[in-house]
Structure 1
Amino acid sequence: MKKIILFITIVSIFAINLFAQTYNDTALARVVSQDKMSRDVSGKLSTLNAGEHAFRADVYLSNRQFPQAREHWQKILDNYGKDSAVMPKTLFGIARSYMWERQYVKAVYHFDELIFAYADTKEGREGLAFKGASLVRLGKNAEAAKTYEQYVTMFPNGEKIETSYLNIIDALREAGNYGEANVWVDKTRLRFAGLPAAINALHARLRLEIFHENWQKAIEAADVLRSLGKFSGSMTSLDEVTYLKAFALEKLGRKSEAINTYNAVAKNLNSYYGGIAMDKLEKLNSSSNKVERMVSVGQNLAREYPVQYRAELLRHSKSRGIDPRFVLAIMKQESGFRANAKSPAAARGLLQLVFDTALKYNKQAGFTKFNAEDLYQPNVNIAIGSVYIAELKTQFGGLYEAIAASYNGGEDNAVRWLARSKPKEAAIFASEVGFAETKNYVFKVMNNYRVYRQLYTEDLIANNNVK
């Protein structure tokens, strides 16, 4: 028994160390050096064993250097095409790399190759789900819905079964097939009764009714969700659902009911929707106590929300029409102001920029010679990040929630969520964000931004009215 435990421990340590190697800068530098030595005089990469090609591809993939990763995967295709030990992961990696590069047509092609040859593997199952995601991003929503339905049929107990049901609802909605989308809401509720997926399906119905301005039906959908009260693990919350109910009441002209419902949300001072509800109440001229909220972000929180890199922020962000306090809000969430921070996804520096994104903007930021390690320099990171955020601000019409969602969840996804938002208000957009991680990120960044706006001026000088 002790030998078994020791073996498991050794394997676990090896797995952890291997995972760490696939994304740290030392591993990347080593693989780059090894690749130089593995080329002939013409620059052609030598054929190595399948495991070595797979490992080097993983290192490049983890550092978002996709062409370099594909060079090794191509070697596997050319020389080890019948090796079932490496082929599923190879085909999956190629397809995912194209998806990350937003080359969705190529991604679908390679996902199809994977599904045809290795549907019985985990990579094959994942590939079918990601094929649906790629089709959505191509605007082929009806085809995407059919792909997700294929997943539901083929893999009723698959790893992505819950999200496949929910993605069918969204894809049908985006295809304009609203009636069928509602049918799948009921199918999802039945299949996952008592589970978060059932709550998410009802939440999809609530959002759909708001989109169609069916205000009474939206209120009814919100009331069903509120009566269930099981929000843990779901994509929504009591605050969000209550806010959306108040929004529908306001649209119906039931002002006093709307104010009372907004007030119920505004009591939660730490909630994103609490802040938005407070804003609504001020516009509705209610007797809400704004001073009480201001006290909650007084001097004590000033220590938790410092102004760092002020000169760089004013030089790079304000000059591009971005509120430096918003950049601080992102910086706080992304790196905690640690210039040397690096994530498992190979995001680097203060604003956690990935190399392939930085390569799009480094010249605009004034850096013609540029490599990934430069992102650890605060001035470089803030300069490139400011160019990127400025472009997102233009793309999303200054809606900071959409900018934050795009920053974390990708531009194509944020575009979809904005298209589903009607009206295009901050809180409605936030409710449409389709990834749990991204939604939580938006809430945190926007809460940070709210506090920074209350503590500091746009020139990053302390506000005198905060006590």
Structure 2
Amino acid sequence: MRPRSHGRFRSGRRARRGRSDFRHGLKMATFTQQALVCFAALLLALSCARVDTSRPANTATDAPSAPPDAPSDAPETYTLSPEDQTDEALAAARRSDAEGRGASGQLPQFTPQEHMRRAAIYQANRAFEEARAHWRALIERYPVDPNVPAAFFGIGRTLFQERRYEEALPVFQKLGDTYQNAPAGRDGFYYVAATLLRLNRPGDAAARYAEYVQRFPNGERIDNAYLNIIDSLREAGRSDDALPWVERTRTRFKGTATETNAVFARLRLDVARGDWPSAFSTSDELSHMSFTRAVNTSAAEVAYLRAFSLEKSGQKEQAIKAYEGIGDGAGSYSGWRATERLKELGGAAKAAALAREARVAADVRRAASDFPAPFRDSVLRASKQLKIDPRFVLSIMRQESGFNPRAKSGAGARGLLQMTPDMAAKYAPLAGLASVSEEDLFRPDTNVLVGSAYLSELFKMFPDLPEAVAASYNGGEDNVARWVVRAVHKDPGIFTAELRQQGDVELPRLQNSLHRWSQATKVRQKAKEKRAGASSLIVGG
């Protein structure tokens, strides 16, 4: 995973390069190369099942008499200036720290604010150990400074990001127990639950989320806490215990997007455990609710879950009608999944599915000329070596960097596939590289090779489920593995419904792109049959 800044989705700077023999004989397939405009549109928030990191958590206060939910008077998290976000700033911080270290290796004496600034520079470049050194120095040298809670949170959060959950847990526990009057303290209290979840202790995580709800009824993460209780109990195999929390959430957030999300959580629960009568009534109620941007589903997805429930309950004719009622097109993932289910049902349903596919193919052909294929040599070499589809790589590349090889995110991700230094070091051996420097990640050949190595491993973990691969690229394969289990059913549309639980992730982009990829791949296969010997975009094709 190459986590990004919580801008989360790349802005999509569009490099326009000329077409080449990379697409020779495959005009119809060109669309696949970058029709996945937002194929990787899942954000670092995925790595924190409803740990909403859209608001900076590293804030602190030392006001002991304030109630737990009182606003903080402490300074905000240190925000780096544009100058401090450069590689030059990182190099300068390292040079200064090295020159000023004492005989025993301790850091130079800085003000609390300077320790926070340097820690932020290192954190932004995923130089986590160097960041923690400054936070620890601040805590040791200035134990009553208002920045101490934020420093503790930084230590715990970076351990969490490195998936060192056993080490992160006591940090968050101490933070949550000691600094409950500070936003960073409340965040630490909340992150105990998120950490327990990743330690495969969903029951304990649910209890911690419930304790957060009780202690901080107006806490910064209160809506997420309610919703996470439901899903944590599901993961603990306690769906019956989750149902009352659906109703409590609806009551607490009546008339809001959170209420709608709670009803959606109930629908996913019903589908997962095969309670089809409840799934019908829940989907009917949900279909009449408002689908604002803050809602984690769509009318089309709800319709798909209802049609799936009809099919699994043995109501084939009603299921066919329901699937046919979900509009298909190059921009509709749920429509594509409905078409796939119709094909599997056979007979007249299959004929209807083929007609839908023909209409979508026309959309693909019309869009084909809009998608160039840059860095073709780098992509083809890496894809061949690692045995993955180069179109998938290009789709990730477009979304992550807009084909800008010098792109750098606020979370330290670099280059075309936005790889972070720590992930590059992990996957360099698989790519046949002895080592990869931070500067190497700005080189297209190196970046594409290392990123493709990671994608290759993800495809081994989640064969035949590109949705899970795309989700893992941003959210982490450990999280995605849990969501696959939670979905129960092997249908990709049911799996992607579980992904919608991750905050404000724009999964529709991922879904639409997956649909386009599927449709254009079929066009590619037909073109290949007609043009024997044409260069192929599919490895081994």
How far, CA to CA, are the matches of 1:313 and 1:448 in structure 2?
20
Deviations 1:38-74 (A, max 9, x none): 2235644223222211111111111111111111112
Tell me if structure 2 keeps the 8 A contact 1:219–1:245. Answer: yes
Tell me if structure 1 keeps the 8 A contact 2:270–2:278. Answer: yes
Structure 1 residue 40 corresponds to structure 2 residue 108: no
Q: 2:220 aligns with which of 159, 165, 168?
A: 159
Q: What RMSD over aligned residues (CA atoms) do the two structures have, in Å?
A: 2.3
Q: Secondary structure at the match of 2:115?
A: helix
Counterpart for residue 180 of structure 1: 241
Deviations 1:159-179 (A, max 9, x none): 111000000111111111111
Q: Point out where structure 2 has 5 or more consecutive residues left out of the alignment.
A: 1-75, 529-533
Counterpart for residue 191 of structure 1: 252
How far, CA to CA, are the matches of 2:301 and 2:505 in structure 1?
16
Structure 1 residue 66 corresponds to structure 2 residue 134: no
How far, CA to CA, are the matches of 1:53 and 1:94 in structure 2?
13
Alignment of 1:423-438 (within 5 A): 423-433=489-499, 434-435=501-502, 436-437=504-505
Closer/same/farther in 2, CA of residues 171 and 37 from structure 1, 3 Å limit: same
Structure 1 residue 206 corresponds to structure 2 residue 206: no
Amino acid in the other structure paired with 1:373: E
Which moves more between the two structures, 16-25 or 164-173?
A: 16-25
How far, CA to CA, are the matches of 2:513 and 2:142 in structure 1?
46
Amino acid in the other structure paired with 1:281: L
Closer/same/farther in 2, CA of residues 224 and 379 from structure 1, 3 Å limit: same
Deviations 1:397-422 (A, max 9, x none): 33111111111112221111111122
Closer/same/farther in 2, CA of residues 108 and 19 from structure 1, 3 Å limit: farther
Deviations 1:182-238 (A, max 9, x none): 110011111111111111111111111111112222122111101224454211110
Structure 1 residue 146 corresponds to structure 2 residue 207: yes
How far, CA to CA, are the matches of 1:371 and 1:462 in structure 2?
30
Structure 1 residue 297 corresponds to structure 2 residue 364: yes
Q: Secondary structure at the match of 1:262?
A: helix
Q: 1:80 aligns with which of 142, 161, 164?
A: 142
Amino acid in the other structure paired with 1:34: S
Structure 1 residue 393 corresponds to structure 2 residue 459: yes
Report the TM-score, using the length of structure 2 for normalisation: 0.78
Closer/same/farther in 2, CA of residues 394 and 267 from structure 1, 3 Å limit: closer
Counterpart for residue 443 of structure 1: 511
Q: 1:287 aligns with which of 352, 357, 378?
A: 352
Which moves more between the two structures, 218-227 or 89-98?
A: 218-227
How far, CA to CA, are the matches of 2:230 and 2:82 in structure 1?
37
Counterpart for residue 8 of structure 1: none
Tell me if structure 1 keeps the 8 A contact 2:310–2:316. Answer: yes
Q: Secondary structure at the match of 1:265?
A: coil
Query: RCO higher in 1 or 2 (8 Å CA, sep ≥ 6)?
Result: 2
Q: Secondary structure at the match of 2:80?
A: helix
Q: Secondary structure at the match of 2:364?
A: coil
Report the Cα offset of residue 323 of structure 1: 1.4
Counterpart for residue 381 of structure 1: 447
Q: 1:262 aligns with which of 313, 323, 329?
A: 323
Alignment of 1:232-247 (within 5 A): 232-247=293-308
Report the Cα offset of residue 447 of structure 1: 4.2
Q: Secondary structure at the match of 1:302?
A: helix
Number of residue equivalences: 448
How far, CA to CA, are the matches of 2:425 and 2:297 in structure 1?
35
Which moves more between the two structures, 143-152 or 262-271?
A: 262-271
How far, CA to CA, are the matches of 1:199 and 1:410 in structure 2?
27
Tell me if structure 2 keeps the 8 A contact 1:317–1:323. Answer: yes
Q: Percent identity?
A: 39
Tell me if structure 2 keeps the 8 A contact 1:302–1:455. Answer: no
How far, CA to CA, are the matches of 1:114 and 1:36 in structure 2?
30
Q: 1:421 aligns with which of 487, 490, 495?
A: 487
Report the TM-score, using the length of structure 1 for normalisation: 0.90
Closer/same/farther in 2, CA of residues 452 and 90 from structure 1, 3 Å limit: farther
Which moves more between the two structures, 352-361 or 450-459?
A: 450-459
Which moves more between the two structures, 433-442 or 200-209?
A: 433-442
Closer/same/farther in 2, CA of residues 61 and 242 from structure 1, 3 Å limit: same
Q: Secondary structure at the match of 2:367?
A: helix
Report the Cα offset of residue 104 of structure 1: 1.0
Closer/same/farther in 2, CA of residues 462 and 363 from structure 1, 3 Å limit: closer
Tell me if structure 2 keeps the 8 A contact 1:297–1:454. Answer: no
Tell me if structure 1 keeps the 8 A contact 2:389–2:537. Answer: no
Deviations 1:369-423 (A, max 9, x none): 3211211111101100111011111112331111111111122211111111221
Structure 1 residue 168 corresponds to structure 2 residue 198: no
Amino acid in the other structure paired with 2:358: V
Report the Cα offset of residue 441 of structure 1: 5.5
Tell me if structure 2 keeps the 8 A contact 1:21–1:59. Answer: no
Closer/same/farther in 2, CA of residues 120 and 263 from structure 1, 3 Å limit: same
Tell me if structure 1 keeps the 8 A contact 2:78–2:120. Answer: no
Which moves more between the two structures, 289-298 or 268-277?
A: 268-277
Q: 1:113 aligns with which of 153, 174, 184?
A: 174
Structure 1 residue 405 corresponds to structure 2 residue 405: no
Tell me if structure 1 keeps the 8 A contact 2:246–2:263. Answer: yes
Q: Secondary structure at the match of 2:274?
A: coil
Q: Secondary structure at the match of 1:351?
A: coil
Report the Cα offset of residue 460 of structure 1: 7.0
Amino acid in the other structure paired with 1:100: Q
Alignment of 1:286-325 (within 5 A): 286-288=351-353, 289=355, 290-298=357-365, 300-325=366-391
Q: Secondary structure at the match of 2:326?
A: helix
Tell me if structure 2 keeps the 8 A contact 1:333–1:444. Answer: no
Tell me if structure 2 keeps the 8 A contact 1:305–1:452. Answer: no
Closer/same/farther in 2, CA of residues 42 and 169 from structure 1, 3 Å limit: same
Which moves more between the two structures, 446-455 or 203-212?
A: 446-455
Deviations 1:100-121 (A, max 9, x none): 0111121110011111221111
Q: Secondary structure at the match of 2:288?
A: helix
Q: Point out where structure 1 has 5 or more consecutive residues left out of the alignment.
A: 1-13
How far, CA to CA, are the matches of 2:98 and 2:113 in structure 1?
18
Q: Secondary structure at the match of 1:353?
A: coil
How far, CA to CA, are the matches of 1:16 and 1:449 in structure 2?
42
Tell me if structure 2 keeps the 8 A contact 1:404–1:445. Answer: no
Counterpart for residue 4 of structure 1: none
Q: Secondary structure at the match of 1:48?
A: coil
Amino acid in the other structure paired with 2:144: K
